[in-house]
Amino acid sequence: MLIPIERGAREPVTKQIVEYIRRAIEAGRLGAGTKLDPIRVLARELGVNRETVAGAYHELEILGLTESTVGRGTFVLPRPDPAPAAAAVGGDGGRPFEPVLSRSVTAALGVSVLRAPHAVPAGVVHFDRLVPDASLVPRDEFRKALNRALLKGGSQLYEYGDPRGLERLRRALVERLTRSGVECDADDVLITAGSTQAFAIVARLFCDPGDTVVVESPTYPWACAALVSLGLHVSAVPVGNQGLDLDRLEAVLARGGVRLIYTMPTFHNPLGISTDLSHRRRLLELAARYAVPVIEDDFEKDLRLRGRGAPPLRALDTRGQVIYVSTFSKALFPAARVGWLVAPRRITDAALSVKRMMDITSSGLLQAGLAQFLKEGSYDRHLRRVVRELAQRLTAAETALEEFLPPGSHFVRPEGGYLIWVTLPETIDSYTLLTEVERAGAVYAPGQIFYPDARRSSALRLCVSQASVEDIQRGVRVLGEVARAALPRRAGRATTRQAATVQV
Amino acid sequence: MLIPIERGAREPVTKQIVEYIRRAIEAGRLGAGTKLDPIRVLARELGVNRETVAGAYHELEILGLTESTVGRGTFVLPRPDPAPAAAAVGGDGGRPFEPVLSRSVTAALGVSVLRAPHAVPAGVVHFDRLVPDASLVPRDEFRKALNRALLKGGSQLYEYGDPRGLERLRRALVERLTRSGVECDADDVLITAGSTQAFAIVARLFCDPGDTVVVESPTYPWACAALVSLGLHVSAVPVGNQGLDLDRLEAVLARGGVRLIYTMPTFHNPLGISTDLSHRRRLLELAARYAVPVIEDDFEKDLRLRGRGAPPLRALDTRGQVIYVSTFSKALFPAARVGWLVAPRRITDAALSVKRMMDITSSGLLQAGLAQFLKEGSYDRHLRRVVRELAQRLTAAETALEEFLPPGSHFVRPEGGYLIWVTLPETIDSYTLLTEVERAGAVYAPGQIFYPDARRSSALRLCVSQASVEDIQRGVRVLGEVARAALPRRAGRATTRQAATVQV
């Protein structure tokens, strides 16, 4: 034990040792039953004589904090009282350091989505988080696949490993990408810590502070926070039921200064929409004309529930301009922290260097487990099960929305994924309504957090992955009842019917 | 299978399907034995009629790429020839996109350490990489601990988890930190993807582009690359056998504009030195006077081999100004990608938000495995074994250095870790010497890469973790012989004896 001792201080060394250990025990840092260093060991480590340490140990015993047994040593006793607050920083007379955070981080901390979530009472139906249902995770199959991979993998799995990511995982992804229409080789793929890291890498790859990135409005809110934290400007282009408004996009691109476009053409978050082939081709033409690279975020690619989709932008891109990112976090589970980026090799090579400076490489252990899990067919089996289950939940939610939403509401039927974008009558502010809905028994993500300008919104995002069919029905009824009660006496029917939306 | 089809193109749809699948098979993306989608499935997915797909499958069979069996389906045959190069980007007539990388990333790519390492012939003794000996990793113990943790942990381990990191791992770290003299609570700890990510987080937390960070010279070269990639300026302050030159540091701080100091007071990389208590206190006083936060990188903290060290800066810091970072990568293995950052809570809270934007959180699965591994005492057992082994290797290396180095050389005896900083006679440039030494049978890290100004250096870093005692003796002899041969006829004895160094 290394105790910071100040020689020649007013406080004798014995007392300094006692106080350090006392604080550690009272704060729970040294738990009951912990054996303290033998006297001779601690004396040697601290460069003091044994009597000093023996005196300190004796005093700790008198204080009722430890118990010494001849021949066994000195042990920490259970804490007598609730621990007092930890010693305040600066307690030794130093003025506490006042950290001044960087302007970029300070700006990002101001983005509303970063506010700490509050605890929600038990029994409330969770429509709020875009995360998979942990109860559907094939835990045992994954654990066994991981075991087999670690047994087979040898010692090199424990090293830093291939900086692009484990080759057999990249090869397995290439086969799946081929089936999605994306032509690439294993060296075009970079394994990342989820698609969040892939996004952060691409932003740094193309943008310097002060540069502008086009995002959709509404969009994934953490993307905006990440861009702002890098000192980048966000230019929001509206996205509707047909996708990004391409005329508005062209107007923004024509002004110049845009270095990157971030888009989710398939199962958009939060809208749930997917764009068609002609929209994808026109978007690529625009990006090509202005020579602006595109990040295609395909975060729920394996969760198609209905219809047949258009190929990803990356599959249609003949110029090498689209950087495709995806993840196992939404269809399997997030704790693997494995996502990937697919781009022409020279872009992947540069991305690799940026990743090197962020965290060197992703864990080869979990990559090996995932590669094995894919190879054994467990991932495909899991997908079949999860797609069946999500389809039931989505149908239940849609039926309940049609039944319970007040007139003037509408929602989008997604072709895949597990979110539904619901628009309430426009007199309602979904952000303020949330407090009442939560009290009545359900929580959702209010529309406002998805708009880069944090505008008032009557829309909200429901995720159906965290609730059973029964909970979904109950939650939607609660939402509908509270929304209905919040309407003025004579609610208007303001909105018009749109493609892929259901008017209530 | 989603094949990007262009209707109305010169090439008929059948031909487009054939070509896509042909390229995928020839490039190995669809391996031998892969079953193609049934005709009706692919026809539905692509929105074409079945005859079109049947025609394409027939042509693939004629090309000798697939084999169809009635009732079973169509399967990919083994590749007849070596695969031709993958289809060039832009092959469909589009001009290839010319990516323009950001200025910051371009500048970082120019930092010399980022050049791709070349392959080294087998049999060469590896003194070059600061990585643990993978053969000493207790693989089976770790795998079993991971298994027990996953069996016990339930489904929440598969979720995003606590953004600060798994609480029981943080508590285990707090107990270890307490034994190092660091007083902190579990909420002061943030689990990161290795200490590299911790460093990157702290740099972004305190610095905006254009700001200056003090680093030691010589220092860990990737730190400089990471800072440059963030648009930061690096101010190099010399570090010698007593640590950072504090007079020079004060001169730099007095000029203003410094936002962060990066230091490795214990088992410095590449010098191997550790600073004493009074140097640590004076460094903290300076940092306090100029209100500049300090990153303390304690990457090999658990590998003390000799003597007793001073407490970490974090233990001596009464103002809350030191951000302590460490990792399991050097003492255990890097593939867990688990490091940590310790700071007063308000700094850790902000760091948490920056991590959120980088990769959300670190894998709870591996954290649970590590927590279990620590709890079972396996980590301490591993440390005892590894410390014993490294002590033998270091002693062997030191003995061989004394015997084989040419006169005028000297080296530092480290108190822990596994690197030795060797200074050859100053007429020798260790960077150019490396080619010859490699040809003769050993590789090391030349001194030049550790200097932020990439200056010529006669010094080099030897790591003894990748080689057996016999290999170490052989490798050092090779180094000594090549260095001796490179000396001018009458070599001077230029250097003076310094504390903790051995003059040869």
Catalogue the E-assigned strands of A70-175. 73-76, 125-126
Please tell me if residue A304 touches chain B, with a CB cutoff of 8 Å: no
> What type of residue is B86?
A
Instruction: Give yes or no for residue A240 having a pLDDT over 60.
Output: yes
Q: CA A102, CA A104: separation in Å to the nearest integer?
A: 5
Contact B105 A179 (CB under 8 A): no
Q: What is the pLDDT of residue B69?
A: 82
Cα–Cα distance, A303 to A132 (Å, whole number)? 11
Q: Which helix (H) or strand (E) holds A90?
A: none
Bridge-based pairing of strands B258-263 and A258-263 is unpaired
What's the gap in Å between the CA of B490 and the closest CA on chain A? Answer: 44
- B469-486 vs B430-440: helix axis angle to the nearest 10? 120
B94–A319: do the CB atoms touch at under 8 Å?
A: yes
Mean residue pLDDT across chain B: 91
Q: How confident is the model at residue B381 (pLDDT cuts 50, 70, 90)?
A: very high
Q: What is the pLDDT of residue B210?
A: 93
**CB-CB under 8 Å, B98 with A205:** no
Please indicate if any CB of chain B lies within 8 Å of the CB of A278: no
Which residue in B139, B196, B311 is closest to A2 by CB distance? Answer: B311
- Cα atoms found within 13 Å of the Cα of residue A332, Cβ hemisphere only: 23
| Nearest residue to B361 via CA among B146, B150, B160 | B160
Whether residues A102 and B208 touch (CB distance < 8 A) is answered with yes
Task: Kindly state the percentage of chain B with pLDDT values over 90.
Answer: 76
Asked if B200 and A359 come within 8 Å (Cβ–Cβ), the reply is yes
CATH of domain B125-130+385-499: 3.90.1150.10
Cβ distance of A350 and B109 shorter than 8 Å: yes
Scan residues 59-98 of A and list those with Cβ closer than 8 Å to B: 86-87, 89-98
Burial B286-315 (b: 16+ CB within 10 A, else e): bbbeeebbbbbbbbbbbbbbeeebbbbbbb
Query: Among candidates A20, A3, A15, A2, which has minimal Cα distance to A52?
Result: A15
Judged against a pLDDT cut of 70, whether residue B260 lies above it is answered with yes
pLDDT at A93 over 70: no
- Predicted-complex ipTM score: 0.89
Considering chain B, tell me which residue range(s) the CATH 3.90.1150.10 domain(s) occupy: 125-130+385-499
Q: How confident is the model at residue B114 (pLDDT cuts 50, 70, 90)?
A: low
Instruction: Select from A204, A308, A335 the Cβ nearest to the Cβ of B105.
Output: A204
Q: Does domain A13-100 have CATH number 3.30.70.120?
A: no
Angle between helices A364-375 and A139-153 (to 10 degrees): 110
Show residues of chain A in contact with B34, CB under 8 Å.
175
Confidence of residue B497 (pLDDT cuts 50, 70, 90): very low
What tokens were used for A302? 């394996």
pLDDT at A291: 95
> What amino acid occupies position B313?
L
Work out the minimum CA distance from A446 to partner chain B, whole angstroms: 21
Q: Which residues of B touch A174 (CB under 8 A)?
A: 29
Contact call for B89 and A350, based on CB within 8 A = no
For an interface test with B, the pick among A100, A224, A358, A370 (most B C-beta atoms closer than 10 Å) comes out as A358
Using the predicted structure, report yes or no on whether residue A216 has a pLDDT greater than 70: yes
Q: What is the dihedral of CA A187, A193, A194, A198, to 10 degrees?
A: -60
CB pairs under 8 A between A and B: 344
Does residue B457 have a pLDDT over 60? yes
For residue B71, the one-letter residue type is G
Q: Do B150 and A139 touch (CB under 8 A)?
A: yes
| Cross-chain Cβ contact B207/A102 below 8 Å | yes
Interface contact B354-A196, CB threshold 8 A: no
pLDDT recorded at residue B463: 97
B254 within 8 A of B212, measured Cβ to Cβ: no
CB pair distance less than 8 Å for A336 and B363: yes
Which residues between 338 and 397 in chain B have a beta carbon less than 8 angstroms from any beta carbon of chain A? 344, 346-347, 350, 353-354, 356-366
**Cβ atoms of A132 and A332 closer than 8 Å:** yes
Q: Give B36's pLDDT tier (boundaries 50, 70, 90).
A: very high
| Average of per-residue pLDDT across A441-445 | 96
Summarize pLDDT for B143-184 with one digit per residue, the tens.
Answer: 999 999 999 999 999 999 999 999 999 999 999 999 999 999
Q: Is B115 exposed, middle or buried (0-12, 13-18, 19+ CB in 10 A)?
A: exposed
Q: What is the per-residue pLDDT for B123?
A: 92
State the best of B2, B147, B329 to mutate against chain A, taking most chain A CBs within 10 Å.
B2
Q: Which residue of A has its CA nearest to B304?
A: A45
The DSSP call for residue A35 is B
Looking at per-residue pLDDT, the higher value among A68 and A413 belongs to: A413
Q: Which residues contact A393 (CB under 8 A, 6 or more apart)?
A: A418, A464, A465, A467, A468, A469, A472
B321 and B293 Cβ atoms separated by less than 8 Å = yes
CATH 1.10.10.10 segments of chain A: 13-100
| Partners of A304 in the β-ladder | A416
Interface mutation vs chain B, best among A101, A220, A313, most B CBs within 10 Å: A101
pLDDT digits (tens, 9 = 90+) for A40-70: 889 988 888 999 999 999 889 888 899 888 7
Q: Is A209 on the interface with B (CB under 8 A)?
A: yes
**Contact across the interface for B288 and A94, Cβ inside 8 Å:** yes
Nearest CA distance, B488 vs chain A (angstrom): 40
Percent of chain A topping pLDDT 90 = 76
CB A226 within 8 A of CB A200: yes
Whether residue B108 is predicted with pLDDT greater than 80 in this model: the reply is yes
- Checking if the pLDDT of A447 tops 90, the result is yes
Q: According to the model, what pLDDT value does residue B492 have? A: 47
**Mean pLDDT, rounded, for A213-221:** 97
A9 touching chain B per CB within 8 A: no
What is this structure's pTM?
Answer: 0.89
pLDDT at residue A87 above 50?
Answer: no
Residue A224 has pLDDT above 80, yes or no: yes
Residues 407-446 of B with CB under 8 A from A: none
Predicted confidence at residue A120, as pLDDT, reads: 85
Contact criterion met (CB < 8 Å) for A291 and B193 = no
Mind listing the pLDDT tens digit for each residue in B55-84? 999 889 888 899 888 788 899 998 765 544
- Nearest-by-CA chain B residue for A171: B29
Position A61, amino acid? E
Report the gap between the CA of A7 and the closest CA in chain B (Å).
11
Answer whether residue B193 shows pLDDT above 80: yes
Reported as a single tens digit per residue, the pLDDT across A68-77 is: 887 888 999 9
Backbone angles phi, psi at B267, to 5 degrees: 50, 55
Percentage of residues in chain A having pLDDT higher than 70: 93
Q: CATH 3.40.640.10 region(s) of chain A?
A: 139-376
Residue B243 above 80 pLDDT? yes
The position carrying tokens 């230019």 is: A235
List of chain B residues whose C-beta atoms are within 8 Å of the C-beta of residue A333: 158-159
The H-assigned helical ranges of B158-245 are 167-179, 194-206, 221-229
Q: Coil, helix or strand for B221?
A: helix
Contact between B335 and A4 using a beta-carbon 8 Å cutoff? no
Does CATH place domain A139-376 in 3.40.50.450?
no
Lowest pLDDT segment from A365-379, B20-34, B336-350: B20-34
pLDDT confidence band for A153 (50 / 70 / 90): very high
Asked if A175 is an interface residue toward chain B (Cβ–Cβ < 8 A), one would say yes
Q: In this structure, are residues B273 and B306 in contact, taking their beta carbons and an 8 Å threshold?
A: no
Among candidate residues A21, A19, A26, A22, the one with its CA nearest the CA of residue A1: A21
pLDDT interval class at B503 (50, 70, 90):
low
**Residues in chain A within 8 Å Cβ distance of B325:** none
Average pLDDT, chain A: 91
